[in-house]
Amino acid sequence: MSKKQTLTLFLLVFFLGLISACRLGSPKRPNVILIVVDTLRADHLSSYGYFRKTTPFIDELSRDSVIFKNAISSAPWTTPSLASLFASRYPAALGYEGEEPIELDESFVTLAEVFKHNRYITKGIVSHDFISSKLKFDQGFDSYNQSNARGYGYVSSPSVTNLAVSFLNNHKKEKFFLFLHYFDPHYDFILHKEFDYYPDYHGSLQSGEYLDSLLTKAPTMSADDLKFLNAVYDSEISLTDKHIGRFLKELKRLGLYDSALIIFTSDHGEEFAERGDYWIGHTKKLYQEQIHVPLIIKLPRNKKKKVINEYVGLVDLMPTIVSHIGLKTPAGYICIGQRIDLKGNAEPESRAIISDTRRWAKLQSVIWKNWKLIYDQQKDTKELYDLKNDPLEAQNLPPKNPQRLAEIQDILKQWQEQIVLIKSEYKITTKRPDFSDEEKRRLRSLGYIK
């Protein structure tokens, strides 16, 4: 079979899978709640085996849910990651090519637009300028509240939950899709006294310290400093968990919890100088600490916990939701992601998971059969890791595994060709948002723009 025939067959099977994924499902239509916690790496949740009990309320949700132990974000920063989730396309196919955010092209049918097409009330409550209406993330929402996008130093979780509780009480008798975005675990890292996990620290780091200051200090940070930094990050996680717990309690009080489909996840993780280059933050790497995110899905009328080890991507969420509850899809709807088997019957190594970033780097990664390739396009270098035996990605193995490397490189090449084909078929108009001076100030304070 020729190379062209192989690619054609690959794409035919791929798109046939998409069509079937979009049409399967149950006719019952529950309320759907999508909760995204910004900058929440999976290994800092107690339900994912963390040594601290950081997330008791999310743990409680997980006991009624399907827990995906190996969910992967499409990108290590907010805008392309959540655009990929909402449009079920990879960031590269959405036009995210540079360091600055762009508007989400209105030609893409979003998850909220699918719900709106099915006569759901659609509500978004968000707390980050990088998923604001300026970037067209409000497509398909009846109401999109971004009053909590206030940047550096503002603790937004209490207000996000207050707004969500108000929405529940006003729309408890209607069919709704509710998107909640919590921001607080994102830097700056603020210590909350009720969740002080390292009260005996006496070093030079401070609660709420600006990221530039942390990066300046990083080369001289001691193990004790890094322990404190992780403890403050955990404090932010626990505060967010507390307010998510308030929201879940209200769902139960109103009798809406059992019948709802609830999806809990994050857009990306966070790095705390694990890689020897003193980097603190996200955006520019594809190691697991930046792209391995929690994914917990509570199905309607479910009271059983199930753990699934299959690797899945956030790009797979839209077709999974649409399929599971049998939503009708509007014209122009295409899902590049694959439907996730929520019963756990799929082969655990059945799909390749792709991530990429072009923010301060040009990297692509592929996870397949517990192996992971990271390809640096600028340096033309490759890193290969055995995630089953080396989950911390400490040992780069390409010289020892040429056959495995060749197999995964072929997957990456097919994906690259697929992206080129998609971009040639769908012309994207990339527009940069017109941020106000105040929005620019907030984004500068977060290290996002210069």
pLDDT at 12 over 50: no
**Looking at residue 9, what is its pLDDT?**
40
Tell whether the model's pLDDT for residue 275 goes beyond 60. yes
Closest CA to 185 of 252, 235, 246: 235
Cα separation, 85 vs 262, whole angstroms: 15
pLDDT, residue 400, reads 80
Rounded to whole angstroms, the Cα distance separating 333 from 238 reads: 37
Q: What does the mean pLDDT of the chain come to?
A: 89
Go through the chain and tell me how many residues it has. 450
Q: What pLDDT sits at residue 232? A: 98
For 93, residues 6+ apart whose C-beta sits below 8 A from its C-beta are: 336, 419, 422, 423, 426
Q: Centre a 10 Å sphere on the Cβ of residue 58 and count the other Cβ atoms it contains.
A: 25
pLDDT at res. 316? 96
The answer, yes or no, to whether residue 228 has pLDDT greater than 90, is yes
- Tens of pLDDT, residue by residue over 420-444, are 888 777 666 666 666 666 665 655 5
Res. 247: pLDDT tops 60:
yes
When pLDDT is averaged across residues 238-243 and rounded to a whole number, the result is 98
- The amino acid sitting at 340 is I
**Could you name the CATH architecture of 27-351?**
3-Layer(aba) Sandwich (3.40)
Band (280; pLDDT cuts 50, 70, 90): very high
Per-residue pLDDT averaged across 217-239, rounded? 97
Q: State residue 405's pLDDT score.
A: 92
Q: Count other C-beta atoms under 10 Å from residue 378's C-beta.
A: 9
The whole-number pLDDT of residue 25 equals 40
The pLDDT tens digits of the residues spanning 313-337 come to 999 999 999 999 999 999 999 888 9
| pLDDT value of position 349 | 59
pLDDT(2) > 50: no
pLDDT tens-place string over residues 36-80: 999 999 999 999 999 999 999 999 999 999 999 999 999 999 999
Write the pLDDT tens digit of every residue in 167-178. 999 999 999 999
Token pair of 59 as six digits: 């743990």
pTM comes to 0.90
Q: Which amino acid is at 428?
A: I
Peptide bond into 188 cis (omega under 30): yes
Pair 44, 234: CB distance under 8 Å: yes
- 77-132: pLDDT as tens digits: 999 999 999 999 999 988 887 667 788 888 899 999 999 999 999 999 999 999 99
Residue 346 has pLDDT above 80, yes or no: no
Could you give the dihedral angle defined by the CA atoms of residues 440, 92, 181 and 253, in that order, rounded to the nearest 10 degrees? 160
HEC sequence for the chain: CCHHHHHHHHHHHHHHHHHHHHHCCCCCCCCEEEEEECCCCHHHCHHHCCCCCCCHHHHHHHCCCEEEEEEECCCCCHHHHHHHHHHCCCHHHHCCCCCCCCCCCCCCCCHHHHHHHCCCEEEEECCCHHHCHHHCCCCCCCEEECCCCCCCCCCCHHHHHHHHHHHHHHHCCCCEEEEEEECCCCCCCCCCHHHCCCCCCCCCCCCCCCHHHHHHHHHHCCHHHHHHHHHHHHHHHHHHHHHHHHHHHHHHHCCCCCCCEEEEEECCCCEECCCCCCCEECCCCCCHHHHEEEEEEECCCCCCCEEEEEEEEHHHHHHHHHHHHCCCCCCCCCCCCCCCCCCCCCCCCCCCEEEEECCCCCEEEEEECCEEEEEECCCCEEEEEECCCCCCCCCCCHHHCHHHHHHHHHHHHHHHHHHHHHHHHCCCCCCCCCCCHHHHHHHHHCCCCC
Where are the domains positioned within the chain? 27-351
Tokens of 180: 């909640």
The owner of tokens 């082969």 is: 347
**Whether residue 20 has pLDDT greater than 60:** no
All residues at 6 or more sequence positions from 373 whose CB lies less than 8 Å from its CB, including other chains? 365, 366, 382, 383, 384, 405, 408, 409, 412
